[in-house]
Structure 1
């Protein structure tokens, strides 16, 4: 769940890890987009350029703790949104 100023945005993230690199995709009502980033311990970070509903760069910084994930997403001029979720098996 991404808690944005426009309201909560549910999404599903898929992650693949290879060493200290992470790749995957985010799926939401607005569509699906691939990403790649870095892994350091329990922390994952990446940047995504989106074009809908407007062009913006999203910067994610997430912390994984067991089956839980939390962190933030910097959303350019829209500020920062909290991210929280849990693993679906």
Structure 2
């Protein structure tokens, strides 16, 4: 639930998602659920995929996500708030 709560605080902010098939998608985070299924709008694809360039809203299943590129702004502070241990 730690990452779910973090993504809830990042709604309507820009994120970048890298999928298991190496497709890289950037856009504004609209919604997230406890399974880390993401809904993104105003998407930009960072690779040439035929037929995917005209999408406005994209739903990404949490299982297909390799990683999410996060900003370092206050990530450590947010992770400390969600855990019992203090990271330095």
Q: Which has the higher helix share?
A: 2
Give the structure with higher Rg (CA).
Answer: 2
Give 1 or 2: higher strand fraction: 1
How does the TM-score come out when normalised to structure 2?
A: 0.34
Q: Which of the pair has the greater relative contact order for Cα pairs under 8 Å at 6+ separation? A: 2
TM-score when normalising by structure 1: 0.33
